[in-house]
């Protein structure tokens, strides 16, 4: 037996067996094609693959309150191809206990036939679910929940077993020829003692987008200035003041008297004092005929008296 184990043929055989074991663990793919449980997020970063976004969830590997995971998340993949289809898998590698994950993996969700243009906007559980969404219910400790997004091959018909506990990611990938089709992934952590981590910061804008927005802003500013100039008129005339003369807000008051006359036509006698000479007013008798008769009577009476004197003497 010792001679058999030490022979070169035996060593070569053991090497082949070990290589086959490694390939099987990787799901029938070459080593490094699928992420390991402990280096899940790092795998996508090292491969320069876009990480999935879950609406309202922290960055890859962040914690999430357990009660906020009861509904299927909205999954977004901005680099999806509009006319391509994708399949999404969600598993728990820590079931039932992270220290003894004898049920690894626990299958939580499979969503198939996701159109790329929908994936850019965000998709969640619907009638395209291959396996209905099962919310996280970790019995103890903090569990990791991992998402794998694959691009579906042409004429894809998924083949899988419907059990949830001890579900094999590697078998599913191998049977459905998805080894070369992994495009993105995501992981969050939750449990009864978990709390929310901060949400990820917005992605920096690309230079092209920034230039486009700056050009739009400049164009908008120019339009506003032009409209303002049109409403307010020119700020300066060639030989005139910088501003138009102010327009009076009220009409000038109309004088109550004429410049050189009284307010009424009636003649008002002046007010005299004791120091003023008293004017001599004409003796005007309104009854002119009576005054004339009295004068004639006096004259005739005087003439009669003169005649009587001449007769006596």
**Could you read off the pLDDT of 220-265 as tens digits, one per residue?**
666 666 666 666 655 555 555 556 656 555 665 655 555 555 554 5
Instruction: List the domains of the chain with CATH numbers.
Output: 35-190 (3.90.280.10)
Token readout for 11 is 């060593």
**Closest by Cα among 249, 52, 278, 12 to 150:** 52
Provide, rounded to the nearest whole percent, the portion of the chain with pLDDT above 70. 56
User: What is the CB neighbour count within 10 angstroms for residue 124?
Assistant: 15
196-200, 235-239, 300-304: least confident range:
235-239
**Top mean-pLDDT range of 59-73, 201-215, 224-238:** 59-73
Residue 213: strand, helix, or coil: helix
- pTM score: 0.57
Query: Cβ(31)–Cβ(23) under 8 Å?
Result: yes
Residue 258: strand, helix, or coil: coil
The pLDDT score that the predictor gives to residue 19 is 42
The pLDDT score that the predictor gives to residue 292 is 60
Query: Cβ(61)–Cβ(188) under 8 Å?
Result: yes
180-184, 238-242, 300-304: least confident range:
238-242
Q: Which residue has the higher pLDDT, 174 or 234?
A: 174
Q: Which residue has the higher pLDDT, 194 or 283?
A: 194
Token readout for 94 is 């820590």
Q: Sorting pLDDT into bands at 50, 70 and 90, what band is 213?
A: low
Q: Sorting pLDDT into bands at 50, 70 and 90, what band is 40?
A: very high
Provide, rounded to the nearest whole percent, the portion of the chain with pLDDT above 90. 44
**Could you read off the pLDDT of 86-142 as tens digits, one per residue?**
999 999 999 999 999 999 999 999 999 999 999 999 999 998 899 999 999 999 999
Helix or strand holding residue 182 (H, E):
strand 182-190
């Amino acid at each position: 037996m010792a001679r058999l184990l030490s022979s070169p043929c035996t060593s070569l055989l053991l090497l082949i067996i070990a290589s086959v074991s490694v390939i099987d663990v990787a799901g029938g793919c070459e080593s490094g094609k699928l992420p390991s449980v402990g280096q899940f997020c790092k795998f996508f970063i090292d491969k320069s693959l876009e990480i999935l976004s879950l609406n309202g969830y922290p960055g890859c590997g962040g914690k999430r309150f357990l009660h906020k995971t009861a509904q299927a998340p909205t999954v977004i993949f901005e680099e999806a191809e509009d006319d391509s289809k994708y399949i999404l898998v969600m598993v728990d590698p820590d079931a039932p206990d992270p220290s003894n994950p004898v049920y690894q993996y626990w299958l939580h969700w499979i969503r198939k036939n996701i159109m790329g243009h929908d994936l850019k906007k965000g998709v969640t559980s619907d009638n395209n679910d291959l396996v209905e969404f099962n919310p996280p219910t970790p019995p103890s400790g903090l569990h990791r929940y991992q998402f794998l997004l694959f691009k579906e091959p042409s004429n894809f018909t998924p083949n899988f077993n419907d059990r949830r506990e001890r579900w094999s990611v590697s078998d599913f990938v191998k049977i459905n020829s998805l080894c070369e089709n992994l495009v993105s992934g995501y992981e969050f952590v939750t449990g009864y003692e978990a709390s929310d981590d901060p949400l990820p910061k917005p992605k920096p804008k690309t230079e092209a987008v920034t230039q486009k927005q700056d050009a739009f802003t400049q164009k908008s500013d120019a339009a506003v200035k032009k409209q303002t100039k049109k409403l307010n008129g020119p700020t300066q005339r060639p030989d005139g003041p910088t501003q138009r003369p102010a327009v009076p807000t009220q009409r000038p008051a109309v004088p109550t008297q004429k410049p050189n006359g009284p307010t009424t036509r009636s003649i008002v006698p002046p007010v005299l004092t004791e120091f003023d000479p008293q004017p001599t007013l004409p003796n005007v008798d309104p009854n002119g005929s009576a005054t004339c008769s009295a004068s004639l009577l006096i004259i005739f009476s005087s003439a009669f008296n003169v005649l009587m004197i001449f007769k006596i003497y």
